[in-house]
Amino acid sequence: MIICSKLADFERAMCQLPKDCEIGFVPTMGALHNGHVSLVKKALKRTKYVIVSIFVNPTQFNNPMDLEKYPRTLEEDCNKLEQAGAYLVFAPGTHEIYPDTHSKQFDLGGLDKYGEGPSRPGHFNGVAQVVTRLFDIVKPTFAVFGQKDFQQLAIIKHLVQSLGYNTQIVTGNTVREKDGLAMSSRNMLLTKEQREAAPLIYKTLRKASAMAAQNLCSPNELCKWVIEQIDSNPLLETEYAQILDGSSLVLATSWQGHKELQLCVAVNAKPVRLIDNIKIK
């Protein structure tokens, strides 16, 4: 497996690839877990030329403390990726990704109005900055993103279409621990007690999905119930629970008029922030 930290070295390595080969791309911020590995393996089903980036992107952190505490485990990450079968790891420094300025603003199509958008001002614009920059560098045939970051996935699909990137966006399923907690790099920051409490999030989402299928209450009432259930554990505090249209990401006020609906939550196990989602209609 090739490892590059400099852009010039990466470009030289890419020049050695066979002409017209498919290039699969999995962008990450490191601290890799089995969820990331599943994305790499999904890409490997299409091509052996799978590129993985490891870059903790400063522009998508609206909280400087969150950026500082974000786990960095490059050596361990590279070992996992070599075992998984990745072809190349690109682990650049900030100056390699943003040599000049990183203040470019993107039209996100209103997809950041709800969910993570209000809670994390500038977050999705930062995601757009780094993803478009990496796409310009890697020029992938396809890129794989996880369903856990449901809103991010929708915004990236919008960017690809609106900006004319010739890259297919492939969705990887959310990978969970045996107790249902969605795998996340931030899980390693949880205390033992918080880790024991955290599976309540997905357990509640599953119950909510069953309730929605039976039309037992309105979307607003269901979200209130979700918050009450999660907040019943003193170690968890729900930041939001929202039911969003699967395409437009607008807030659903009724069950009618939507092809697909996604229940999205953000929960604080202070200072760790966890997100999850589930399709309910």
- Per annotation, catalytic residue among 33, 36, 102, 158: 36
What is the C-alpha to C-alpha distance for residues 199 and 274, in angstroms, rounded to an integer?
11
**Contact (CB, 8 A) for 47 and 20:** no
What is the C-alpha to C-alpha distance for residues 120 and 50, in angstroms, rounded to an integer?
31
**Contact (CB, 8 A) for 170 and 142:** yes
Q: What's at 24, amino acid-wise?
A: G
Cis amide bond preceding 64, omega within 30: no
158 is catalytic: no
Burial of 89 per CB tally in 10 Å (0-12, 13-18, 19+): buried
DSSP 165: -
Phi, psi of 120 (to 5 degrees): -130, 75
Q: Which residues, other chains included, contact 179 with Cβ-Cβ below 8 Å and sequence gap of 6+?
A: 199
**Contact (CB, 8 A) for 26 and 135:** no
Task: Report the catalytic residues.
Answer: 36
